[in-house]
Amino acid sequence: MTQRFSRRAFLGAATAAPSLLIANDRPALLGGRPVRSKPFPSWPRITAEDERAVLEVLRSGIWCRNPDDRVARQFEQQYAALMGAKHCLATANGTSALFASLAALDIGPGDEVIVPPYTFVATINVVLLHHAIPIFVDTDLETFQIDPTKIEAAITERTRAIIPVHLGGNVADLDRILAIASKYRIPVIEDACQAHMAEWRGRKVGTYGTTGCFSFQLTKNLCSGEGGAILTNDDQLIERCYSFHNNGRGRVRHGLDFTYLTHGSNLRMTHFQAALLMTQMTRLEEQTRTREQNAAYLTQLLREIPGIHPANQYAGCTRNAYHLYMFRYDAEQFAGLSRDTFLKALRAEGIPCSEGYKPLNREPFLKNVMTSRTWQRFFPKQEFARWQERTRCPVNDRLCQQAVWFTQTMLLGDRSDMEQIAEAIRKIQKYAGELRKAA
Ligand SMILES: *Cc1c(COP(=O)(O)O)cnc(C)c1O
């Protein structure tokens, strides 16, 4: 396939006029023709089935789970079955799934929660919202995941939870994380918001932790605009999550039952979301397989390019969900061309790309929050400097300088898309010196 394509490309180029050949070969940023002008597959994907499902909810008038929660229940049962979990609770979004999990585990002011610095900010925000202290543990440069060898040293008598994130649909080292968690009897909340269908040793992620949290936000691999879910095998914990997400009320019996089990919030999913997720879900396995195959092919192509280092997986990761395709860019192999200019050049070739996250542990807003008036009751102001020192993540700092991302939708096309990505990078490498001078 590779050979056939490149041969065809070669023959095509060879029969073109010499001037065109030169123009084609030069980077688009230097006036050459872009490798690609076609857009990558669009997202979300909508079928007549989706339209029917949403319309059915609309016409039923039962738009939310009170007083009749059958649509939400049906989604919860289907998602639990797909994931292999005993219980599922649908939530308004991924942030609320994490937020309710922490509430159900009674995590509060001054408690410490271990988190990675390389994640979407929601992972940290839910900790701060409970007035708990995020303890950042450095990243494994090779996998982009929380470094399992550095977790144990971060545990203190105040540690109340570990939130590993399966970042990009790749899987954090669950064997080691679960071993540490069980040694110290600390609950694990899996942030699987980017990892629908990802597997560890043949079992879906999100089913290993005390809870597993998912997001169905529009860009996620399974989506309904907004949406989320909590998975757990714990009969009592699911009821605590339910109550918290339903303003402290118990299971829906009728709308005018004003008895409360606890405090809480309204974090409920609507039936529009639930119905859409059920039809979208029927295509998830096939889409996951397409992403996996394209990503494997892309990795094979990119590993041949000096200075491009695709993220590795731990041996236990038996399926990567590829919410993101992530690699490290080594400028030294590109004549010192900065990552910023590399990204610009790649975009000019028709390949959308991103530099990804900045180091969360260095976010200036953290100081404002953690030295605020309310925090001083359990976190003396002078603690902040010590906390900063304790949560330095030098490897993550480096990763954030080198990372490049492609989004999951770019993996939904065919193999020739992957070949064009590799071709664009090879072209940039060839002209890296010139690009650097022009920048
Ligand atoms: C998307 C995401 C969330 C939050 O999910 P929302 O549905 O946007 O609230 C949390 N953690 C990670 C890692 C995410 O990617």
Mean pLDDT, 10 residues at a time, the chain of 439 residues: 42 44 78 96 98 98 92 98 98 98 98 98 98 98 98 98 98 98 98 98 98 98 98 98 95 79 96 98 98 98 98 98 98 98 98 98 98 96 96 98 98 98 98 96
> Per the structure block, which two tokens stand in for 424?
């664009």
Q: Which atom of ligand 1 is nearest to the CA of 323?
A: 15
What pLDDT was estimated at residue 25?
Answer: 87
Among candidate residues 404, 439, 409, the one with its CA nearest the CA of residue 424: 404
d(CA 351, CA 52): 35
CA of 280 relative to ligand 1 center, distance in Å: 18
What pLDDT was estimated at residue 24?
Answer: 61
d(CA 403, CA 179): 29
Ligand 1 within 6 A of CB of 122: yes
Contact predicate 322/292, CB 8 Å: yes
What pLDDT was estimated at residue 67?
Answer: 81
Q: Which atom of ligand 1 is nearest to the CA of 217?
A: 7
CA of 12 relative to ligand 1 center, distance in Å: 44
CA–CA–CA angle 402, 408, 411 (5° rounding)? 100
| C-alpha torsion 72→78→82→87, nearest 10 | 60
What pLDDT was estimated at residue 257?
Answer: 81
Ligand 1 within 6 A of CB of 193: yes
What pLDDT was estimated at residue 7?
Answer: 43
Class of domain 48-282: alpha beta
Q: What is the DSSP letter of 247?
A: T
Ligand 1 within 6 A of CB of 170: no
Among candidate residues 201, 205, 194, 258, the one with its CA nearest the CA of residue 231: 205
> Per the structure block, which two tokens stand in for 345?
């050049």
Ligand 1 within 6 A of CB of 194: yes
Ligand 1 within 6 A of CB of 287: no
What pLDDT was estimated at residue 256?
Answer: 77
DSSP string, 42-94: PSS---HHHHHHHHHHHHH---SSSS--HHHHHHHHHHHHHHT-SEEEEESSH
